[in-house]
Amino acid sequence: MSYSAGYTDGEQKQNPYNLSKLLYYILMATPTDKRLILADKLNSSETNWRANDREKDYAAEVQKTFWESLLDEIGEYAEKGALIGGCAIGVPGMIVGGLVGAIVGGLKSLVTAPFKKQKPLDKLGKILGIF
């Protein structure tokens, strides 16, 4: 397995190689609730992500991993919201609380660390394939 961040010395240039594969393995070793924070730190230049081994579509796997992390966070907050709403006003509270919790969880996942940059949701949207 080989990876290259690429380089240029003014005369020669080597493009990055297997960055999607490397990112995939980093994400697999990162706790699910911390993965979306990494999305904000990624270089968004498409040329950096093109050259990869053909054994597996690592770009799709990375995208899937980010989606799973987002959905896990939404699910966790939906459960908490449903529990709180159910205790407060029964079944209607569970429904409303679950929806509010899901919205809060989704927003928290998308904006926790990324506020440091101007357009974090655009970058994450590109990675997830939704913008």
- Using an 8 Å Cβ cutoff, are 65 and 57 in contact? no
33 domain-assigned:
yes
Residue 51 is assigned to a structural domain of this protein? yes
Question: Count of domains in the chain?
Answer: 1
Instruction: Report, as an integer, the average pLDDT of 88-95.
Output: 88
Rounded CA gap, 57 and 73, in Å? 25
Q: Does any domain span residue 120?
A: yes
Q: Cα angle at 82 between 108 and 33, to 5 degrees?
A: 35
Average pLDDT value for residue range 5-16: 77
pLDDT in tens, 12-35: 877 777 888 888 888 899 888 788
Say if 5 falls within a structural domain: no
Residue 6 forms part of a structural domain: no
What is the model's pTM?
0.61
In a domain, 28, yes or no: yes
Give the tens place of pLDDT for each residue, 54-72. 778 887 888 888 888 888 8
Q: Residue 21: inside a domain, yes or no?
A: yes
- For 77, the domain range is 11-128
CA distance 12 to 63: 32
